[in-house]
Amino acid sequence: MPENPLPLILEPEQLQASLQQNDLVILHITKPARYHEFHVPGALFLDGAHIVKVARPMYGLLPDAADFAQLLSSLGITPDTHVVAYDDEGGGWASRMLWTLDVAGHKRFSLLNGGLVSWVNEGFPVGQQPSVPLRREAWTVNWNTGTDGPVADADYILSRLGAADLGLLDARTPEEFSGEKKFAGRGGHIPGARLLNWVDTMDQDRNLRLKAEDQLLELLHQRGLDRDMEIICYCQSHHRSSHSYIMLKALGYPRIKGYPGAWSDWGNRPDTPVE
C-alpha cells in the first residue's frame, strides 16, 4: 500500500522528513555535472531530453508512450510510486516531468518548492554519489489526450478560440509575447492570450519558491484567468508553461491543459491566427 501522501507543492523540510519512504522516487533533472556536484540524498539523475520528443521545427512534444513506459521502469517508478521532481532553474524541467506523469494517468507526484536552489541554499543535506534505481517491471502507458485530459493541441485550441470560458496563459517573456523576439516562423501570441511570464510567479527572495497563494491568485485575476475557466498553458515548447500548469493545479483550478509543442507548433503552422 502507498505510504502517507505528500502535497503537490512539497517544502524541503517535508521532503527531508520523508526520505525513507519506501514508495518514494526522487528525480533530479539538471545537467550531469550539477548532479555530481550535489543532489538530494537518494535522488536519481534524469536527463530532461528523455521526457520530450523533437520533430523539427516542433519541440517539447509528448514522447512515445512505450518509450516513456520504459523510462519509468528504468527509474523504478510503478503506479504506486510517489514521484518528487526538482531541478535547478525554478521548476521548468521538474514540472514538465510531472505534467507528463499526469498525462500518463499517474497522480502521485510532487514538485520540490524551489528545487535544488532552496534545498542547497537552506542547508539541507546533499549527496554526491550517484544513486542506482531499482528497475521495475514496465507498465503500459496510455496518454490521456481526450477533451477532458491535460493536453491541448492546435486543433483543440482553434475549436475553442473566442469561448467566454477559455483562458490562454502565455508563460513566455514580454518580448516573445509581442513578437519582438521570435523563435518560429511567425512571432506574437495566440489571440486572446494573457501574458504571465513564468519567472514572475517565483519568489526571488525565497529561493525560487512559488509566490504565496494570494499573490498568485491576484496575478491570475488581474489577467482575467479565473477558476471557472478552462485554462490552457503554453510557452515556446511547453517547458516553462508546465510550471504554470503545476501552479494552477496547486491553486485548485479544475480545468487546465498544457499545449505540447506550443509556439514552436502554433507559430510555424499556416492555419493558425496570430496577434
Q: Under a CB-based contact definition with an 8 Å cutoff, are residues 74 and 17 in contact? A: no
Which residue carries 544513486 as its cell?
Answer: 131
Beta-bridge partners for 39: 127
Q: Under a CB-based contact definition with an 8 Å cutoff, are residues 119 and 98 in contact? A: no
Q: Helical H runs in 208-261?
A: 213-222, 240-250
* From 44, 61, 235, 246, the catalytic residue: 235
Q: Distance (Å, rounded) from C-alpha 117 to C-alpha 180?
A: 31
Q: Distance (Å, rounded) from C-alpha 275 to C-alpha 43?
A: 43
Does 233 participate in catalysis according to the annotation? no
Q: Distance (Å, rounded) from C-alpha 182 to C-alpha 57?
A: 13
Cα distances (angstroms) measured from residue 185 to each of 58, 181, 191, 263: 11, 11, 17, 10
The helix/strand/coil state of 243 is: helix
Q: Distance (Å, rounded) from C-alpha 270 to C-alpha 128?
A: 49
Cα distances (angstroms) measured from residue 47 to each of 32, 51, 52, 87: 8, 8, 10, 11
Q: Distance (Å, rounded) from C-alpha 221 to C-alpha 242?
A: 19
The helix/strand/coil state of 224 is: coil
Q: Under a CB-based contact definition with an 8 Å cutoff, are residues 40 and 31 in contact? A: no
Q: Which residues are catalytic?
A: 235
